[in-house]
Amino acid sequence: MTLPSDKNLYVDFDGTLIDPSKRLYRLFSELNPTSRKISFSEYWDLKNTGLTQESLLTDILRLNPRQVTNFKAGWLSEIENPELLALDCPLPGAENFLSKLSTYSDLHLVTARQSSIGVEKQLADLGWNRFFKNVIVTLAKSSKEEAIKSRTVPRAADIIVGDTCEDICTGKALDILTVAVETGHTLKSAFEACSPDAIIPSVSMFDASLWEQLLLRKHLTN
Asked if residue 201 and residue 185 are part of one domain, the reply reads yes
Q: Which domain holds residue 43?
A: 21-85
Is residue 1 in a domain?
no
Asked if residue 113 and residue 211 are part of one domain, the reply reads yes
The residue among 85, 105, 123 that closes a domain is 85
Asked if residue 146 and residue 68 are part of one domain, the reply reads no
pLDDT number for residue 131: 98
pLDDT number for residue 3: 82
The residue among 70, 85, 100 that closes a domain is 85
Asked if residue 198 and residue 132 are part of one domain, the reply reads yes
The residue among 63, 85, 107 that closes a domain is 85
Asked if residue 186 and residue 97 are part of one domain, the reply reads yes
Instruction: Output the 3-class SS for the chain.
Output: CCCCCCCEEEEECECCCEECHHHHHHHHHHHCCCCCCCCHHHHHHHHCCCCCHHHHHHHHCCCCHHHHHHHHHHHHHHCCCHHHHCCCEECCCHHHHHHHHCCCCEEEEEECCCCHHHHHHHHHHHCCHHHEEEEEECCCCCCHHHHHHHHCCCCCCCEEEECCHHHHHHHHHHCCEEEEECCCCCCHHHHHHHCCCEEECCHHHCCHHHHHHHHHHHHHHC
Reply yes or no on whether the pLDDT at 219 is more than 90: no
Asked if residue 96 and residue 73 are part of one domain, the reply reads no
pTM of the complete model: 0.95
Q: Considering its fold, how many domains does the chain have in total?
A: 2
For range 35-45, the mean pLDDT: 95
For range 73-98, the mean pLDDT: 98
Q: pLDDT band at 220, cuts 50/70/90?
A: confident
Is residue 32 in a domain?
yes
Is residue 143 in a domain?
yes
Reply yes or no on whether the pLDDT at 201 is more than 90: yes
Asked if residue 107 and residue 74 are part of one domain, the reply reads no
For range 3-17, the mean pLDDT: 94
Please state, for a pLDDT cut of 90, what percent of the chain lies above it: 94
Asked if residue 164 and residue 58 are part of one domain, the reply reads no
Asked if residue 27 and residue 13 are part of one domain, the reply reads no
CATH number assigned to the domain comprising residue 99: 3.40.50.1000
Reply yes or no on whether the pLDDT at 37 is more than 70: yes
Is residue 3 in a domain?
no
- Nearest Cα to Cα of residue 47 among 65, 59, 36: 59
Is residue 2 in a domain?
no
Reply yes or no on whether the pLDDT at 1 is more than 70: no
Summarize pLDDT for 152-170 with one digit per residue, the tens: 999 999 999 999 999 999 9
Asked if residue 213 and residue 151 are part of one domain, the reply reads yes
Is residue 139 in a domain?
yes
pLDDT number for residue 130: 97
Cβ-based neighbour number of residue 220 at 10 Å: 8
For range 22-35, the mean pLDDT: 97
For range 138-147, the mean pLDDT: 97
Asked if residue 131 and residue 68 are part of one domain, the reply reads no
Average pLDDT score, the chain: 96
Asked if residue 97 and residue 207 are part of one domain, the reply reads yes
